[in-house]
């Protein structure tokens, strides 16, 4: 049965396909039948750039348990990265480029 569980988010960064690296524009997260993994259902992650055609796609199919572990790992890394960025701004002072970014975001 198809679940129709899909979330799409804008994404900035890079992905790697068989054609090499490409700029990301979106990430699609879904829970549905996988294309390759031998699973009934899977959490699928597609990182893509529609403007660059079908070759600009990197895909992952995970078990639900693996997706939960990835979610937990991402949360830990994000929290640590945000703390690190806060320390950089504190250490470098208001002239630091990250400080200006935070000021603009707060406005």
Q: Which residues of 13-24 are buried (b: 16+ CB within 10 A; e: fewer)?
A: eebebeeeebeb
Identify the pLDDT of residue 14. Answer: 97
pTM of the model: 0.74
| pLDDT tens per residue, range 28-50 | 999 999 989 999 899 999 999 99
Nearest to 57 by CA among 11, 22, 13: 22
Ranges of residues in the chain whose predicted pLDDT is under 70: 1, 88-107
Number of Cα atoms under 13 Å in the Cβ half of residue 86: 6
Identify the pLDDT of residue 99. Answer: 59
Cα–Cα distance measured from residue 52 to residue 72, given in angstroms and rounded to the nearest whole number: 32
Identify the pLDDT of residue 104. Answer: 54
Question: How far does CA 54 lie from the centroid of its chain?
Answer: 19
Identify the pLDDT of residue 86. Answer: 80
């Amino acid at each position: 049965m198809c679940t129709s569980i899909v979330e799409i988010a804008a994404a900035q960064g890079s992905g790697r396909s068989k054609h090499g690296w490409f700029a990301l524009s979106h990430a699609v997260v879904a829970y549905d039948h996988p294309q390759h993994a031998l699973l009934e259902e899977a959490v699928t992650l597609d990182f893509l750039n529609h403007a660059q055609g079908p070759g600009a796609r990197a895909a992952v199919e995970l078990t639900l348990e693996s997706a939960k572990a990835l979610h937990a790992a991402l949360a830990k890394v994000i929290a640590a990265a945000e703390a690190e960025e806060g320390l950089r701004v504190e250490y470098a002072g208001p002239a630091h480029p990250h400080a200006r970014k935070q000021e603009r975001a707060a406005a």
